[in-house]
Amino acid sequence: MSASAVQTVPIPLTPEEAEAMAQRHIKKHHVAMVLLHWFNAISWLLELATGAGLIVSPYYRFAPLWYLQMMEGIFGSRSNMLRFHIAVALTWITVFLVYAIFGFRSYLRVEIVQNEIALDADDLRWLKVRTLLLLGRTQEELPPQGAYNAGQKLFALLVYTMVPLVMLTGLIMTFHWFGSAIVAWAMVLHLFAVGMVVSGLMIHVYMGAVFPEEKPAFYSMITGVVDELYAYRHHFKWWRTVKIQQQLWRDGLTSTAPGEEPSMKEEPDRDPCADEAAR
Ligand code: HEM
């Protein structure tokens, strides 16, 4: 089979095909991304828990009184809690800075950012059909999706725009940069940006950790791989790209003489093939 023969639209699978695909795995997340994601999730958990405990003004407070007292009891005082909040935040910012500097060329490439957040026509239709499905107003099939569906892309877009604002306003407040008027604005913007991320996080955590259909996505954030059947049914366009890369890789191997290095014009991502070869 040539790479161009990989099917262009999802077709119904026989039970045998579905079973075979459920047994095969393809790589979705690099180990560095898995580690960074869970480091980020733990940092957010600690920051949200202490951040909510630090807002005691009756005008802004949203945590109940018992929570504020409990948190103050755990840390001994509110200033200790603030020190902890700042220490976690500075560690979080430093890790992301290191990631941005050293991972820039591997992970922050334009095409990766485009795959994760740019919405195409299928994504826009996915958002419409998904909403109508939730309202019980259509029986239409969801359009095929890339590595991330349109909902995940919107969440990623929200995170990528709000997180720099959270970091910058946090630094302004910590080091009292630019005078007290800017610090006062930073407080409001900090709360706003965190609130925006939290609104998306509620859906993200529900979809990632609870929603039954997305269980393979949750495990992929631990093992780095998903089964092919899940990829085929939920992320068909990504599945197709991986299959084409695998086929190009095989074609490259078969067109070379024994002992000769395969020379490939279009160098594929080798991880999926490495995964398959390991089986
Ligand atoms: C307990 C908390 C969390 C759980 C269970 C969780 C779960 C997941 C899962 C399962 C994925 C993989 C999705 C896929 O490959 O299809 C993912 C990706 C991702 N997560 Fe989380 N996550 C959590 C916390 C967070 C936090 C705190 C943030 C950022 C503020 C975050 C940002 C992202 C981003 C940007 C991605 C990649 C794109 C996306 O799926 O939106 N996650 N998460």
Percent of the chain with pLDDT over 70: 90
Cα 204 to ligand 1 centre (Å): 6
Q: Which residue's alpha carbon is at the smallest distance from atom 34 of ligand 1?
A: 156
Higher pLDDT pick, 73 / 265: 73
**Are 249 and 272 contacting, i.e. CB atoms less than 8 angstroms apart?**
no
Question: Which CATH number applies to 30-230: 1.20.1090.10, 1.20.950.20, 1.10.357.10, 3.40.50.300?
Answer: 1.20.950.20
Pocket test for ligand 1, best of 221, 222, 223, 235 (most atoms within 8 A of CB): 221
Tokens 């910058």 sit on residue? 168
Its sign, for the CA torsion 102, 103, 106, 112, is negative
Other Cβ atoms within 10 Å of 261 Cβ, number = 7
Higher pLDDT pick, 101 / 127: 127
Cα 188 to ligand 1 centre (Å): 26
Q: Give the CA dihedral 13, 16, 18, 24, nearest 10 degrees.
A: -140
Residue spans of the domains in the chain: they are: 1-28+231-279, 30-230
**pLDDT band (50, 70, 90) for residue 261:** low
Nearest residue to 22 (alpha-carbon basis) of 14, 33, 31, 30: 14
**pLDDT band (50, 70, 90) for residue 257:** low
| pLDDT number for residue 53 | 97
Widest pairwise Cα distance in the chain: 76
- Per-residue pLDDT of 48-93, as tens digits, reads 999 999 999 888 888 999 999 999 999 999 999 999 999 999 999 9
Nearest residue to 85 (alpha-carbon basis) of 75, 94, 95, 73: 75
**Confidence (pTM):** 0.88
From the CA of 226, give the closest atom in ligand 1: 15
Residue 44 beta carbon below 6 angstroms from any ligand 1 atom: yes
Q: Which residue's alpha carbon is at the smallest distance from atom 41 of ligand 1?
A: 152
Cα 73 to ligand 1 centre (Å): 31
**Are 219 and 27 contacting, i.e. CB atoms less than 8 angstroms apart?**
no
- Per-residue pLDDT of 169-209, as tens digits, reads 999 999 999 999 999 999 999 999 999 999 999 999 999 98
| pLDDT number for residue 101 | 87
Residue 272, CA distances (Å) to 109, 214, 228 in order: 19, 21, 11
